[in-house]
Structure 1
Amino acid sequence: MIYTRYIYSLEEEEFYQFLADQPQGVEVIRRQDNRVEFATYTELKWLKPLKVEKIKVKPPESFLRPIRIRSFLIVPPNMKTLIINPGMAFGTGLHPSTQLSLMLIEEFFKRGWSAIDVGCGSGILAFALKKLSARKVLAIDIDERAIEECEKNASLNRLKITCLKAKPEDIKESFDFLVANLELSIFKREIDHIKPLFKKLAIFSGIYGKEELEEFLFFLADLRVVKIKKLKGWYAVVVKR
């Protein structure tokens, strides 16, 4: 059988907005310079392709997307699933700051690292880290309800992580990797307590707009900024020692 493969390119933010409404999924070819090059096997009428080619190879498994049929969700085997019941806690995966964190975790986290999620909410980011084979994951929050939901969701996902009601200054150990999805006001108050908690790499998300980003970067002057990523006006920053 002959397949027609259409190759396109979009800015990252446009790509993820497009992907959310694309029921058939796409094949991601490469990400470079804040653009995503991808392929579909049906033509997009609103976008000019970079290239059109005829191939005999079956479309890859990664091209598939989850399919929902009533109460059933059929998931391709190459995808990692997270079950989230947020209750009163923040973190369903719908907010751009959470999506940014998940994208960057997948890009930068290394298998076998230890990790801490500061301000864990529902626990979604901590679970993603464990799914990516973190050696040890600690999820902390000052809200007792968030910790309760984190523990429930950890059980639903059958993941072994520690959910702890604590402030950053209460933690007396450091981890290879840190993720914190917080408001700027909280970062400004807690950043000096958060920085000592990681040894290698950290992702800070929850910053909205360029003014907040510029203000936040001032507090990271002693760290090396590796990447800044934007989605729907929200920013996430990756830093390393």
Structure 2
Amino acid sequence: MDLDQWHIEFRHDSPQDIALGRDREPEVFKFSKAVDLAKFLADDTNDDAIRFHSFIDDKLDANTDVAVWRRKRTKLSSLPQFKRYRANEYESYHQAARSVANGQPASKEVLLFQGLEKEICGSSIIIPSGQVLFHGKASRDLTSMTPYPSFISATLHPVVARNSAFRRAGVDNQLGYPILYVLTVGLGLPALWGHVGGSAEWELLLPSSLTVVEKSEYSGRNFLVIEAEITKRG
């Protein structure tokens, strides 16, 4: 699915706008690349991300490729590990993956890691080479650790990734500096679809041990944008 071409338009000619004398020309934002949209958000001083959020939600809801992935997704009732991961054991699974990669896992951690990895690898959703995804983080571990030892919770929604980066950085960036990764998938990858129930995340959970190579970076007013490519698995 194409997450590069964005034409975002806000109209101001409703009957209410006209009655109140607030009607004016539409605001139009055009981005030919996903990374350009990410850079705009990085320098945003007008809270445009708030308006963009709902606009992008609507676009993804109407996307035919999204509809295909929704139909292909494995039901949560058949994914006990993913269900636990999404509920309240997110960090337990990531710690298990890191322990396995370090060669010093507890037996419980092996079961957690292998269980979730198996569910991801058994997914009917295969992210094609060339697909753009987003990921919010507060460290450069994604590209500095090769391969990245844990699972990658990617999203189709750039503002969701931005919000995730801010959340992980903490108040006044006490836990790190927010980074929005714009990821290009360089090989076919299985993924679990996490946009179910009351979720607003547009999540695609990728397997562990991916090599992510940095291509460029942009230091914005609000956060860092890193453009990177997933080049290898295992």
TM-score normalised by structure 2 residue count: 0.28
TM-score normalised by structure 1 residue count: 0.27
Higher relative contact order (CA 8 A, sep 6+): 2
Q: Which has the higher strand share?
A: 1
